[in-house]
Structure 1
Amino acid sequence: MKKLLLSFGAFLFVLISNAQIVGTNHSVYTEADTLRGSLRPERSSFDVLKYHLKLKVEPEKKFISGSNTIRFSVSEDLPVMQLDLFANMEIDSIVHKGKPLSYNRKHNAVFIDFEEALKKGAQDSLQFFYHGNPIVAKNAPWDGGFVWTKDLDGNPWIGVAVQGTGASLWYPNKDHQSDEPEETIIEVAVPNGLMNVSNGRFLGKKNLNDGFTQWSWKVVNPINNYNLMINIGNYTHFSDKYEDLDLDYYVLPYNLEKAKAQFEEVKEMMACFYEKMGPYPFEEDGFKLVETPYLGMEHQSAVAYGNEYKMGYLGNDISGTGIGLKWDFIIIHESGHEWYGNSITSKDIADMWIHEGFTSYTEAIYIECRWGKKEALEYLKGLRKNIGNRKNIIGEYGVNVEGSGDMYHKGANLLNMIRSIYDDDDLWWNTLRDYTKTYRHQTITTADTEAFFNKATPIDLAPVFDQYLRNPGLPTLQLRQGDDQILYRWKADVIGFNMPVDVIIDEEEIRLNPGTEWQSYKTGEELDELKVNELEFYINTEILK
């Protein structure tokens, strides 16, 4: 039975790997894909400075209405602006300087015409009024949309998860990861007796005297569109601190005591991540866990938690090693995204391995802090059974498409292997902390990441990144027995591939530096006595006769 449970847990995570990020998943791209995924002048000529969302949520009707006031700076003359709102949501009006603007809709894009082109260097704003019944998620967070449900006491309990599907599913915005507002205010009116919890700091609540109460929140750091969030329920609140960081928790009342015990792990996590990755990147906005009616998501400063107060992944171990049952997967993984995905964000979702590979690696970081490096390496090796090696980790650029779900576990094993190539743990941790600090609150590309980790070592990592990110298969270390020697070389997709690899011969670890031409290592040992250090290197091996 235990084996069945472990397999089921792995199966669940494979579902996440392939479906949590739900951009297009096909090879023929449509106009809608291009409008969503590309940066044309209607998008690239302005930068969002601030969103001010003001909404009313009516649970019984599954209906939302309100506005988003968007402040922006103009980087090039702007006659037409593209914003995004799903086609099923109705536009009431778009107002600029007190006057309604004309617009036209194409797929989920909204093209707004200004009477006179806005001039380069200007700062301006518009108000976008809308309403509708947003898409309902069939199985959040694996598909995007609203979750309208009730808690065990019969109270409305509402959540939203839209990563990949798009934040424009429920509010108008520039729905591209390359542009984040510097500041956001979220004001949400909900039926009296309920609470809305959003990102950032709580500003206060106001009884609107119409059966609704408005809850206001403010974010003072850059934030991804898909991270802006509403969580509505009959929540109870408790708090804690880690050093100077405020820890706030919003849970259903009947889970309060379980939450108080389970969330103690947050302080252990913060101690580890502060040491290995650097300080929490959004201290001004605080850190929250919010109980949600779906498994979890990395909503910045308001992390969604739905792991049912169980260790592992809903009580299962996705690595099959038993190590994953020592900690709460959703707390660690989704909070790890605060550093990788929320603070450091990929400009294009084709590069989402920057989010998921690094965050999956934070699971191993946490294990190493608590239980040692050997268990962290065993956990990472255990994750490999979930890797398909059939599609590239990096997706197609400009069409709103991510790469394969291998970005999670293959990405984590790639980072572990780079650490092994460094062969210097002090250098590794210093480089990781420096990367986290250098790109704090920035949107970046895979090329930025490659260059940063390559610069720290004299070993050329370019062919390694190329093989693991841009080709589906693993490199193969080919071995052949010679007279008093072992012959070795790489077989790989990348022309001229070279990468050091550590092998064990007669209980001694030796570093080989294979290329694509045969090289030799003199030894009296038989070939079958050679073992690759599989805990640190994720490769194939082939013995040739």
Structure 2
Amino acid sequence: MLALAASPTLAQVKRGEPPITAITQTSGGPIEPARAALHLEHVDLAIEVFPDTNRLEGTATLTLTTSDPQTQLLIDLDKNLPVSALSVDGKALRPGQWSNPEGRLAITLPRPLKAGGRAEVRIVYGGTPHVAVRAPWDDGIVWAKTPGERKPWVATTAEGYGCDLFWPCLDFPKGEPDTVDLHITVPAGLKAPANGTLKGIEKLADGRTTWNWHARSPNPYSVAIDVAPYEEVSGIYLSRFGPKIPMNYWYLPGREAKATALFQEFAPTMDFYESVIGPYPWYDEKVGVVETPHLGMEHQTINAYGNNYKKTPSGFDEIFQHELGHEWFGNQMSAANWDDYWLHEGYAQYMQPLYGRWREGEARYATMMDEFRLQIRNSAPIVSGRIMTEEEVYEEANGGPGQDIYVKGAWVLHTLRNLIGDDKFFEVTRRLVYGRPDPKPGNFKPRFSSTPEYIQIVNQVTGKDMNWFFDIYLKEAALPELIETRTGDTLSLKWKTPHDKPFPLPIEVQVDGKTRLVAMTGGTATLNVPAAAHVVVDPDSRVLRRSEVVEAFQKQSMRM
């Protein structure tokens, strides 16, 4: 997902009707044992889109197992999409055997389900889905029109409020299904690119078409509907690891030249990620991007792109590059708890200056990192240590770290890389993403991770106890401050940290143009420096620390 934007106005909120309940608006957080015991083996999801009336009609067949006994099933579904029929293992239920007053569909099972048991639940539903207020920062469906011909242009976003906005699902990260078959039916003249591999297009008698897709292990929120009179540019990426991977970009008519230029970024960006991280996780499906009426979102193998082909000094499309990064950080490796959201966004954000460095060198990297530094707010710790909802983390108004999971997360990774070196940093990253240091197509699967596991990986790879590093940078809001004192020929350095926590982070000191790394054992150091010498501490900005200059700039910017 993208960094935060301004909050929506009241008028925009009103345009987001029909409203949703607090349950539907909540994604993740503490999960009741009965729901946590459920696992989706397979989802067959048939949805027909009616742009003229802003409606959806769907049939979802959920094949699920349970690790605990169940007498009822709790499935997340927005109550704006009422259920008209429901069956369990082929047996139709009476209307009184299910209810959905607040957005959590409660299904009374015709027979108890034992631990280890399996059930097939078929749910027929439909209605007017919640409209996204300000996609992608608020979620729902976007009913737009293409420029010029004013044809339907439809898209979904669901990361904040969750998958239940348009299909019956388990709306928490580990609710991820093993496989999904999508069948999206659209009016004549429209196309419906989606997740995974295209299995075929059925042409119906009245001109409608049904687009059939098969995907493995999509995040619940990354299952996406995109509908428009798309045109397509395609090609093949020859992976560094062997596979020939289809690349597809679906774009609006009339934008061929700009679309072709963006498509030319696909292969080099893939090469960057494969060279520094490892194999593209969905090598057996596709690299897919679709033009949307909102800015962007990491919808697995069908990433949303709506940046209108804007150019930046970096020389590459940062929205496309960021969302593609989520195929590794968010889709292949997923946070089981939204409290660890920084593993998605901090890494995806950090991949931007690393790509700038890969393309142009250190000057571009430093410039991009400086832009991020000015955005760090330090309003809350990046990691709280408790189970969180997506909105609790993403919204500063809810007491969460907000955009710091992006920009501060990137600076934490920058500081870590400079501390442990590139070889160890990228081994840590590979172990995080793939669960192993030697990923190759076929020897890894999608995985869940967490901040505690990440710290264990860093400790394992470095052979050191690095908990002190993360105790400050992730678990405290305030940044460490380096106190510098010069007395005669002596330079004293001392780390000042929240709650006086230990912080033995070494620091570079440049004296009259010569730089050396100073150990800060115990958080302090004393150097003999001639009184007349010119001293610059951390001359290459390798360390994230408090800056009064940055704070003054931020205060001034807020007043302007």
TM-score range, shorter chain: 0.7 to 0.9
Q: Is the Cα–Cα contact under 8 Å of residues 278 and 433 in structure 1 kept in the other structure?
A: yes
* 1:517 to 1:331, Cα distance in 2 relative to 1, 3 A: closer
In structure 1, C-alpha distance between the alignment counterparts of 2:283 and 2:461, rounded to whole Å: 29
In structure 2, C-alpha distance between the alignment counterparts of 1:387 and 1:131, rounded to whole Å: 43
In structure 1, C-alpha distance between the alignment counterparts of 2:424 and 2:28, rounded to whole Å: 40
- Residue type of the alignment partner of 2:91: K
Q: Is the Cα–Cα contact under 8 Å of residues 17 and 408 in structure 1 kept in the other structure?
A: no
Q: Is the Cα–Cα contact under 8 Å of residues 104 and 111 in structure 1 kept in the other structure?
A: yes
- Residue type of the alignment partner of 1:493: P
In structure 1, C-alpha distance between the alignment counterparts of 2:23 and 2:500, rounded to whole Å: 35
Cα offset for 1:287?
A: 0.7
Same amino acid, percent of matched pairs:
28
Q: Does 1:187 align with 2:183?
A: yes
- Residue type of the alignment partner of 2:317: D
- Residue type of the alignment partner of 2:188: N
* 1:534 to 1:461, Cα distance in 2 relative to 1, 3 A: farther
Deviation per CA, 1:466-489: give whole Å up to 9, x if none: 222222111001122235322121
Q: Which moved more, 1:36-45 or 1:150-159?
A: 36-45
Q: Is the Cα–Cα contact under 8 Å of residues 489 and 515 in structure 1 kept in the other structure?
A: no
Q: Does 1:512 align with 2:512?
A: no
Q: Secondary structure at the match of 1:37?
A: coil
Cα offset for 1:234?
A: 0.4
**Which position in structure 2 is the counterpart of 1:411?**
409
Question: CA RMSD for the aligned pairs?
Answer: 2.5
Cα offset for 1:427?
A: 2.6
Q: Is the Cα–Cα contact under 8 Å of residues 486 and 520 in structure 1 kept in the other structure?
A: yes
What pairs with 1:416-495 in structure 2 (closer than 5 Å)? 416-422=414-420, 424-438=421-435, 441-493=446-498, 495=500
- Residue type of the alignment partner of 1:464: F
In structure 1, C-alpha distance between the alignment counterparts of 2:362 and 2:510, rounded to whole Å: 19
Q: Does 1:302 align with 2:291?
A: no
User: Which stretches of structure 1, 4 residues or more, deviate above 6 A after TM superposition?
Assistant: 30-35
Q: Does 1:157 align with 2:153?
A: yes
Q: Secondary structure at the match of 1:254?
A: coil
What pairs with 1:119-518 in structure 2 (closer than 5 Å)? 119-151=114-146, 152-219=148-215, 221-243=216-238, 244-312=244-312, 322=313, 324=314, 326-394=315-383, 396-400=386-390, 401-402=392-393, 403-404=400-401, 405-422=403-420, 424-438=421-435, 441-493=446-498, 495-498=500-503, 499-514=505-520, 518=524
Match of 1:529 among 531, 535, 538: 535
Q: Is the Cα–Cα contact under 8 Å of residues 45 and 78 in structure 1 kept in the other structure?
A: no
Q: Secondary structure at the match of 2:271?
A: helix
Deviation per CA, 1:314-352: give whole Å up to 9, x if none: xxxxxxxx4x3x111111001011110111111122211
Cα offset for 1:536?
A: 1.3
* 1:191 to 1:486, Cα distance in 2 relative to 1, 3 A: same
Higher relative contact order structure (alpha carbons within 8 Å, sequence separation ≥ 6): 1
Q: Secondary structure at the match of 1:240?
A: strand
Q: Which moved more, 1:463-472 or 1:505-514?
A: 505-514
In structure 2, C-alpha distance between the alignment counterparts of 1:17 and 1:417, rounded to whole Å: 29
Task: Tell me the TM-score normalised to structure 2 length.
Answer: 0.86
* 1:382 to 1:295, Cα distance in 2 relative to 1, 3 A: same
Q: Secondary structure at the match of 2:62?
A: strand
* 1:299 to 1:17, Cα distance in 2 relative to 1, 3 A: farther
In structure 2, C-alpha distance between the alignment counterparts of 1:35 and 1:330, rounded to whole Å: 24
Q: Does 1:71 align with 2:67?
A: no
Q: Which moved more, 1:430-439 or 1:404-413?
A: 430-439
- Residue type of the alignment partner of 2:158: V
Q: Is the Cα–Cα contact under 8 Å of residues 136 and 157 in structure 2 kept in the other structure?
A: yes
**Which position in structure 1 is the counterpart of 2:77?**
85
Deviation per CA, 1:52-79: give whole Å up to 9, x if none: 1101111011000111111122212222
In structure 2, C-alpha distance between the alignment counterparts of 1:17 and 1:348, rounded to whole Å: 25
- Residue type of the alignment partner of 1:125: E
Q: Secondary structure at the match of 1:126?
A: strand
Q: Where do 5+ consecutive residues of structure 2 fail to align? A: 9-21, 239-243, 394-399, 437-444, 550-560
The aligned length equals: 510
Q: Secondary structure at the match of 1:530?
A: strand
Q: Is the Cα–Cα contact under 8 Å of residues 467 and 494 in structure 1 kept in the other structure?
A: no
